[in-house]
Amino acid sequence: MTLIDLGQMRRGGNGPRVAGAAPSRLRYEQVIDLLEQTITERQLVPGDLLPTQAELCELAGVSRITVTRALTELERQGRIRRHQGVGTFLARPRITAEPARSGGLLGTVSSGSAAIRVGTRVLSLVAGLPSHDLREALKLSPGARIWWIHRLRLLDGRPMVVETAAIPVELAPDLDRYGGEVTDSLYGLLERRYLLKDASEEQYLEVVSPTDEQRRLLNLSTGSSVVRIRGLSVDPGGRPFDCFEQVYPASDFAFYLPGGATRELIVNPATKDWTVSQIDAVPSKGGAE
């Protein structure tokens, strides 16, 4: 029996009633109820393809506008994911991230009791001149260069986090020699090779629209939002050594942020220019953490 046959049977009066079809329910809420019942009956699991909008219109007997509103609400709740030209999929449970926790990405994310595999693609590792705002945040003199590291992090094989890091060349003068190690924990590399230990951080979190590049790298649909975290890491002596940015799909993550004192090392970085003028490039490499 097809989904459309199932919908016709439900509307015929002799079949089972659609859950939540009481008149007091708004039409888009009835579509949500119908979709949830379909998921249960078909025993769908995260990652499975859901009925098309046309099928849902036929099943529920409503307009495409009503179906679109229902899907938009479910996507906002992180319960489904829509990919333009591909379809709508049942979403996986949100990953819990602790961005303020020190250590590599593997130690800051969790998904219930299941272990998460972390992989890394190094998109670029370049030495360049920082913008005025980056230079001020890192307390660098005019003309000082930084390493600009751009990485895509994969969780269980899915692209989930876009990261950039700005590290003064004077603190890690030959970082390009260890490009292969950048696929592992960057802070582990900095501590191991240059004795740069992350003693404290400040982070600013906001929900924004992704850039075209971020949308492409994270396979996001039009209208999706991302959580962008910009921060500054300092060593035990209070010396800043990394301005970083992390971008997460908003529908896939929940964030745990413990309380703590702030030092106001960076002020409102959302309005700052965090860019670099490229000078040298190193070939990209990939791997797993």
Using the 3D structure, point to which of 29, 63, 90 is the last residue of a domain: 90
pTM of the model: 0.65
pLDDT the model gives residue 268: 67
Nearest to 135 by CA among 276, 279, 262: 276
pLDDT class for 274, splitting at 50, 70, 90?
confident
User: What is the reported pLDDT for 289?
Assistant: 47
% of the chain with per-residue pLDDT over 90: 43
Radius of gyration of the chain (CA): 23
Report the alpha-carbon distance of residue 201 to residue 43 in Å, rounded: 44
pLDDT tens digits for 127-182? Answer: 999 999 999 999 999 999 999 999 999 988 889 999 999 999 999 999 999 988 88
* Interatomic CA distance for residues 80 and 115, integer angstroms: 22
- From the centroid of its chain, how far is CA 51? 25
Residue predicted with more confidence, 178 or 289: 178
What CATH number did the domain enclosing 221 receive? 3.40.1410.10
In a domain, 287, yes or no: no
Number of domains composing the chain: 2
pLDDT tens column, 10-59: 444 333 334 444 456 788 999 999 999 988 998 988 888 999 999 999 98
Adjacent-strand bridge partners of 90? 80
Q: Which of 5-19, 96-110, 206-220 has the lowest mean pLDDT?
A: 5-19
Instruction: Show the DSSP H helices in 20-91 as ranges.
Output: 27-41, 53-60, 64-76
pLDDT at residue 164, rounded to an integer: 95
* Same-domain pairing of 161 and 278: yes
105 domain residue, yes or no: yes
Which of 72, 90, 108 is the endpoint of a domain? 90
Domain that holds residue 40: 3-90
Percent of the chain having pLDDT more than 70? 77
Higher pLDDT, 108 or 7: 108
pLDDT for the residue 83: 78
Whole-number Å distance between alpha carbons of 228 and 100: 13
Q: Work out the pLDDT band at 110, boundaries 50, 70, 90.
A: low
Q: What is the mean pLDDT of residues 254-261?
A: 68
